[in-house]
Amino acid sequence: MKLINRHLLTVFPLAILVFHSISYAVVEGVIGSLPLEKNINVSSQLPSTNASEIIISRKQYVISYNKTTRSPNWASWELDPQNMGNADRSNGFSQDTELEEYLAKQGGQYKAVTSTEYKGTCFDRGHQVPSADRTNSSKDNEATFTMANMLPQTAFLNRVLWEDLERYTRDLVTLKNKKAYVIAGPIYDENFGAIGPNKDIPVPSKNFKIVFLLEPNQTAKDISKDTPALAVILPNTLADGSAVPMNENVDCLAISNLSSNNGDWNAYRTTVDEVEKLTGIRF
């Protein structure tokens, strides 16, 4: 086992990484402006996956990025009242330049997604770490708009189920005096096709989210088997449960209008075990 004790602005080669008391699976590299051992958005052990993994460690989140699917395997973040303020939503979708620089140094076979690669599809650029969870400053909000934080989501998933669950989680934090540690990501248990100019961004069939509820004085490192947790597996479909047609003649505006405000994320509650089974990730 190789022990590493450096700041994470350096990119590390393939290795098993251990930072103080934090343990991690085999990863290709680690980028980001914040050392993992100082990152409050990470628990004592990161989710473990066998997928391609580049860890992005920033003040606003930790993301496991998959260069093959060009999407996150998962994203994790802590939410407390200090993260929410008066900063406006930036809407500044952008390529993750730091990730692109890393991939270019690895030979340039893989590219970080640009802000326009979802254009012409019927999918939203779906935040994993929500914009509204990072409104304490404009800089924090802008960090959520990197495309490394996005997955292709239908309007029904993104604007109804996902948004309602995000709002519910923020209410728990602000109204119930809780702190939340959240992990979210894609599930590919069905073939829903792929988008992008090169059709190399696979569309998840579902999205998962796990919310651990903490007391105000706790951190993600206090999570144990006794920590209250909410888990959901939400369908990446239209409101009627059907998949988005993957052809050039589809009317995306009509598809978007099929979204219903009557969707209830509570109908998709599940267990952490079930999420692990479908994702192959151990939490």
The catalytic residue positions are 127
Distance separating alpha carbons of residues 138 and 135, to the nearest angstrom: 7
First and final C-alpha spacing in the chain: 22
Which residues contact residue 245 at a Cβ distance below 8 angstroms, ignoring those fewer than 6 apart? 122, 255
Which string of DSSP letters, residue by residue, matches 197-212? TTT-EEPPSEEEEEEE
Q: Contact, 126 vs 166, CB < 8 A? A: no
Cα-based distances in Å from 88 to 118, 158, 164, 168, 204: 23, 19, 19, 20, 29
**d(Cα 279, Cα 205) in Å, to the nearest integer?**
11
